[in-house]
Amino acid sequence: MATITERGAELRRLHDAPELLQVVNVWDAISATTIAALPETHALATASHSIAATLGYEDGENIPLDLMLDMVGRIVRATDLPVSADLEGGYADAGETVRRAIGVGVVGANLEDRMRPFDEAVAVNRDAVRAAEAEGVPFALNARTDVFLRNAFPSTEEKIEEAVRRGRAFLDVGATSVFVPGLLDEPTVTALVGGLGDRKLSVIAVPGSLPPARLHELGVTRVSYGPWSQRVALTALQDAAQALYAGGTLPSGTRALN
């Protein structure tokens, strides 16, 4: 198995490479090995929402950190690929949370700003970067701003301006990329890339989002899928169960992936 230093360096390289980094989010060991088995998969990312749901918790740091990190560690051990963990808002101490995540083999993380006051949000990301540096591990911090989720600004232009202001500050303290979740149209993506720089914007794909090929053309560095990958799996499971209850059979082509 590759060392944590090698995996960290590879995840950083994938963010700097000219190709779009696609990470299909996983939530347990079997989802991790299923996605890692595809030759197109170069890195994995956990989805905190999906891990919480798997273990019976609501999203939003309701799952205890110990339990979250236990599952993240299982995902790391299931594959030789670099793993980035969704660490939500940092569980009140982003530096310590990053240190503990590195302890289970993580080499990257999402951190939500949750629209904290500007200086506080910057400090959270600075603490995360310093913690990774203290551990001596190359680390890809995907610094998230929730400007488009919290509706704190009335116009799209104001949201873009604030996302860029925060994102630039996050990059200045050592973040690798800036994650701006939301259903973003092409003019918005273009403006965010223009403000943050080429290959610095990370986005989430949701129903109705721009396709990956277009995101790549616009200069996006990374696209992830958050809880939607688990929702795809659960939709297939529920649809199959409904068909079975109606007298049908298991779907043809079902593979023994477990």
Q: What are phi and psi of 142, to 5 degrees?
A: -100, 90
Residue 258 lies in a domain: no
* The pLDDT of residue 151: 81
Residue found by looking up tokens 């190359």 in the block: 138
Angstrom distances, CA of residue 73 to CA of 50, 126, 131, 156: 15, 24, 18, 39
Q: How many structural domains does the chain have?
A: 1
Per-residue pLDDT at 1 exceeds 90: no
Please enumerate in sequence order all residues whose Cβ is within 8 A of that of 165, keeping only pairs 6 or more positions apart, or say none.
118
The answer to whether residue 255 sits within a structural domain is no
Decide if 46 is inside a domain.
yes
Percent of the chain having pLDDT more than 70? 100
DSSP bridge pairs for 140: 108
- pLDDT for res 126: 98
Is 256 within the bounds of a domain? Answer: no
What amino acid occupies position 70? D
The pTM assigned to this predicted structure is: 0.96
**Residue range of the domain that includes 174:** 4-245
- For residue 113, the Cα-to-chain-centroid distance in whole angstroms is 14
Residue 66 forms part of a structural domain: yes
CA–CA distance, 54 with 71 (Å, rounded to integer): 10
Instruction: Annotate 135-188 with DSSP letters as a single string.
Output: HT---EEEEE--HHHHT-SSSHHHHHHHHHHHHHHHHHTT-SEEE--S---HHH
pLDDT of residue 88: 98
Is there a domain that residue 251 lies in? no
- DSSP designation for 45: E
CATH value at residue 154: 3.20.20.60
Question: Is residue 252 domain-resident?
Answer: no
The confidence score (pLDDT) of residue 59 equals 97
**Is 159 inside any structural domain?**
yes
What pLDDT score does 142 carry?
98
Q: What mean pLDDT value characterizes the chain?
A: 97
* Mean pLDDT of all residues in 48-53: 98
Token duo for residue 76: 């790391």
The continuous run of DSSP H or E covering 130 comes out as helix 118-135
